[in-house]
Amino acid sequence: MMYIYIGGTFLLSVLLATIVIPRIIFISYKKRLFDVPDARKVHKTPVPRLGGLAFLPVILISLCIITGIRYYMNEPVAPVWSSCLFMRYLFLVAGTTLLYLVGVADDLVGVSYRYKFVVQILSASFLPLSGLWINDLGGLLGLHAIPAFIGMPLTVFLVVYITNAINLIDGIDGLASGLTCIALGLLIIVCTLVGQWTHALLASATLGVVITFFYYNVFSVSGRKLFMGDAGSLTLGYILSFLILHFWMQQEYWDPFKLNLNMVTISTLFIPLLDVVRVFYSRIRSGRNPFLPDKNHIHHKLLRTGMRIRTVMITLLMLSLFLVAANFVLSFYINATFMLLFDLIFWCTSHVVINRAIVKHEKLTGRKWYKTYIHVPFNK
């Protein structure tokens, strides 16, 4: 029956998103709520950026309806929701709502990155308060159990890190939503295999609305297109953080480290996570504020090789799928430290190849990146 519930949650989320998203597009065009292009952005025409408004309501409605049906069908859900899991989901909803609201404000009128950062830290702090925090590294760098005074701040850092990574990678059509779909798909499979049904339902509800948005973001014609916006990216980042953190916590009834599930699940986000480190380092080395945007993300670099936007999106999604598959296979043979080493070597090698492709393209076109892309206004 749980497989039916998971599938039903996904279909209900798709149905609700199919109803809600076109209404958001209609209101956005009627009220002229557009993301206006500037020197930093890739798109050339104004596009609504309120697609993320649909995410949290659709996820909550789908999850609550299916959970209610499970109660009526006398499924054994009462022990689950009377346990610590209920407390975690209460704090999850509170933290997601905070980020959702600040994201909506940013999409409508603009919010300072300092204010968003404070709200992100506050929302991230809810998860340790709910009892969900990193208490074991599963042998990563030779470390296993860690005390609360290290694990709780590390949890807050990781949540803020993942949330910002999803937000920052949202630079071209289909990229953030596509990477999120890959992550959620793997999480559904893993949660199902290990019997974490409630988390599988949450991932299914999220996947349903994101995959519907992906269609409107990538395949819609002019006049039907929309962007995710901060309301969407912050919501997705927080939910992914919640689901992935579950695989970094050793409990009496739950050992996610036997199959290196901690590394397998977080490998779905290695592209945005590692890209944030590279971009921040580049900004600091150049003497710029690391929190102010530029055009130095990996999708910008691939565009400078001469690729089209759609090709860049597909390339990065394929790279993400490769990392997920490789880490899943490697989890049976090597430990977490060597898995991380493999990922870092692959990431650095990829950038060497990309840099050479950029140089080759610049020689062919005579167009220098540093003259065209570095000195742009930082308006966001």
Per-residue pLDDT of the chain (380 residues; tens, 9 = 90+): 889 999 999 999 999 999 999 999 988 888 877 766 655 555 556 778 889 999 999 999 999 999 889 888 877 665 666 678 888 999 999 999 999 999 999 998 888 888 999 999 999 999 999 999 999 998 898 898 999 999 999 999 999 999 999 999 988 989 999 999 999 999 999 999 988 889 999 999 999 999 999 999 998 766 678 889 999 999 999 999 999 998 999 877 778 888 888 999 999 999 999 999 999 888 888 888 877 777 889 999 999 999 999 999 999 999 999 999 999 999 999 999 999 999 999 999 999 999 999 999 888 887 665 433 433 333 33
Structure tokens at 206: 């999220």
* Three-class SS of 274-342: HHHHHHHHHHHHCCCCCCCCCCCCHHHHHHCCCCCHHHHHHHHHHHHHHHHHHHHHHCCCCCHHHHHHH
Please enumerate in sequence order all residues whose Cβ is within 8 A of that of 260, keeping only pairs 6 or more positions apart, or say none. 138, 327, 331, 335, 336, 339
Alpha-carbon dihedral 174, 180, 183, 186, rounded to 10 degrees: -70
What is the C-alpha to C-alpha distance for residues 132 and 247, in angstroms, rounded to an integer?
A: 10
Q: What is the pLDDT of residue 33?
A: 77
- Report the distance separating Cα 365 and Cα 339, nearest Å: 39
pLDDT, residue 77, reads 66
Is 167 annotated for ligand binding?
Answer: yes
β partners of residue 48: 34
Domain ranges of the chain: 2-277
Q: Residue 139: which region, alpha, beta or left (left: phi > 0; alpha: psi -120 to 50)?
A: left
Nearest to 236, CA basis, from 360, 56, 364: 56
d(C-alpha 242, C-alpha 88), whole Å: 9
pLDDT score at 210: 97
The SS3 of residue 47 is strand
Contact 226, 173 (CB under 8 A): no
The pTM for the full model equals 0.91
Q: How far apart are the first and last CA of the chain?
A: 47
CA neighbours closer than 13 Å in the CB half-sphere of residue 182:
26
- Residue pair 177/217 in contact by the 8 Å Cβ criterion: yes
Q: Is 230 annotated as a binding residue?
A: yes
